[in-house]
Amino acid sequence: MPLNTIGDLPVVGGVHGNNASVLQHSAEHGPRTPPFRVHTSGGPTRINLEWESLRASSAHIQQAGQSFTELRRKTIGVYEDFSGSGFAHLHWKVPGWHARLGRLVFSTAATELLLREGVDGIEHAHQSYREAEVSVHQWFHLGVRGIEGSIALEHLAHPEGDRSFTYDWFATALVSGGGRGADLLLRKYPTLEVLLSTVIAVENHAGLMPALMGRNEHVLTADATHTFRHQPDGTLAGYLESVGGSSEHGDIAVSVIPRPNMEPAYAVHLPGLKVDGLATGHGRSPLSLIDGLTNDSVHMTSAVTDALTEVGAPEGAEVFMTGFSLGGLHATNMAKSKEFHQQYALRAVTTVGSPATSGPTRTGVKVTHLEDARDPVPHITGDRHELSAERMVIEYSHQNPDSTVESIAGSAHTWEHNLEAIKLMEHQNSAWLEPAQQQHMDEFRAQLMFDAEIETHVFDSHWQAMDTPEHLLPWEAEGLDDLDYLNEALREGADQLRRLPQE
């Protein structure tokens, strides 16, 4: 189909043109298409590295504060021992010594307080910066979608227009705009925000989601359903293309990567959600989505650990994770998991088109979120990733006129669409990424540069009811101790209600 890429007309109307002239130009030359481009945020930028340095120094300040606390306690202990020493405290020099001791206690307490305030100040400033950063990125994303509105209109109106582009644009603008609109509404009506937070707090402890997660378990099928080998080519796209087909055979793919003169590395790939009518028993059912969104992927973490054990990965082994959509959500949660880090050395996590969740990932893990600018799924939660020197988002704008809309998520959320975009980006790696950003991604890509073939084992999984449920329903409880979660729900709800504005 004809696509005008000359760019001689502005994207939106204004002093250089108007919507009528844009549509007329589209009718004569074909609808315009945005060129492929890549936008990055987070990662090893100067500001993020400075924040990391500042937070590292705050850890030393905190240790100094603890040292002063210990010094103050010992000083007070000396005073107490001296006071109980009988007549020795009647010596004429004792009052002056008491005064000096008191000044020492006071100075250590004051220094301790200042150090604590300094640490709290750094953390508060960092958190405020990250919140502002998220807000700016969300509004910027929505603004760019607004600028693309006239192009979407061209493709809708033109007989040979790309309807998938129009749908993707509309879905993403609707999701992003709805999220920003909800934020503005809750800020305008704080009472509504408090009531909503109360409902969420109660649901988190005593609602349907914790009941489902506390009464069902995610079980791995011990034997691999499929095993294959492939030759790595040093690119992320090459690896993703080789493991992408694993979704047809199971839910968890574990690749064993031989490394000369080193222990092997293990790469885990988690595919996306699989909707099979109302069935919830298979491994990638909506129960897995609930696990990822509300339960920190506790069940999936257990299944991945079992899969690593099945392929012989020892404790402390280096693990690299990739995930698409729901799989990326699980992988991100494992990058935050203390329990998983205690068992394995998670080195890098790469997600593709995954929903965003708030909160930091653990130090030492290189996290990369790849997503299309017109994919609504990364914005569906209303959150954005908390960026850092070790965590970045790569957003590409890619349009394929041959794409078709096969689901409510649109064409920009398909595995094939994102894989094609990643290939385009890596084909001109240096044109789109700074050297430091390339090094960030090379944390995983370096494992794909050895000559030996990579063997991948694909495991199936399923959900089943627990033999002994961790979450008891009220009529199943044998005593009040079994219903502690109700007390937690009421307490959390009451804490939220105390925030109601006073008339």
297's tokens: 């992927």
Give the closest residue to 221 by CA, choosing from 282, 168, 269, 271. Answer: 282
Beta pairing class for 461-465 and 318-324: unpaired
Q: How far apart are CA 253 and CA 321, in angstroms?
A: 10
pLDDT, position 76: 66
pLDDT tens, position by position, 288-344: 999 999 999 999 999 999 999 999 999 999 999 999 999 999 999 999 999 999 999
**DSSP bridge pairs for 217:** 464
Q: How far apart are CA 295 and CA 204, in angstroms?
A: 9
pLDDT tens, position by position, 460-494: 999 999 888 876 776 666 666 666 766 776 677 67
pLDDT, position 9: 38
456's tokens: 């991948």
Of the pLDDT bands very low, low, confident and very high (cuts 50, 70, 90), residue 79 is: low
pLDDT tens, position by position, 251-278: 999 999 999 999 999 999 999 998 876 6
Helix (H) or strand (E) holding 270: strand 265-270
- Asked if the model's pLDDT at residue 142 lies above 60, the reply is yes
Between 101 and 202, name the one with better pLDDT. 202
33's tokens: 């298409």
What stretches of 227-312 show up as alpha helix (H) in DSSP?
A: 236-244, 286-294, 298-310
Between 191 and 71, name the one with better pLDDT. 191
pLDDT, position 302: 96
Give the closest residue to 305 by CA, choosing from 321, 286, 282. Answer: 321
**DSSP bridge pairs for 110:** none
Farthest-apart Cα atoms in the chain, separation: 107
For residue 317, how many other CB atoms are within 10 A of its CB?
17
5's tokens: 């890429």
Q: How far apart are CA 333 and CA 288, in angstroms?
A: 13
DSSP-derived 3-state class of residue 16: coil
326's tokens: 């729901």
Average pLDDT value over all residues in the chain: 83
Q: Given CA atoms 219, 222, 228, 229 in this order, what sign does their dihedral have?
A: positive
245's tokens: 């087909």
Is 282:276 a contact under the CB 8 Å cutoff? Answer: yes
Q: How far apart are CA 278 and CA 262, in angstroms?
A: 46
Of the pLDDT bands very low, low, confident and very high (cuts 50, 70, 90), residue 15 is: very low
Of the pLDDT bands very low, low, confident and very high (cuts 50, 70, 90), residue 108 is: low
Q: What are phi and psi of 393, to 5 degrees?
A: -110, 130
Between 9 and 110, name the one with better pLDDT. 110
Is 234:448 a contact under the CB 8 Å cutoff? Answer: yes
pLDDT, position 491: 73
Count each helix (H run) and each strand (E run) in the chain, helices first: 16, 11
Give the closest residue to 408 by CA, choosing from 180, 172, 244, 176. Answer: 172
7's tokens: 């760019």
Segment 159-170 shows an average pLDDT of: 89
Q: How far apart are CA 32 and CA 4, in angstroms?
A: 5
DSSP annotation of 227: E
pLDDT tens, position by position, 28-70: 667 888 889 999 999 998 888 887 877 777 666 666 666 656 7
pLDDT, position 14: 38
Residue 183 amino acid letter: D
pLDDT, position 333: 97
Q: Given CA atoms 237, 45, 361, 273 in this order, what sign does their dihedral have?
A: negative
pLDDT tens, position by position, 363-413: 999 999 999 999 999 999 988 999 999 999 999 999 988 888 888 999 999
CA–CA–CA angle 48, 49, 50 (5° rounding): 90
Give percent of the chain with pLDDT exceeding 90: 48
Of the pLDDT bands very low, low, confident and very high (cuts 50, 70, 90), residue 123 is: confident
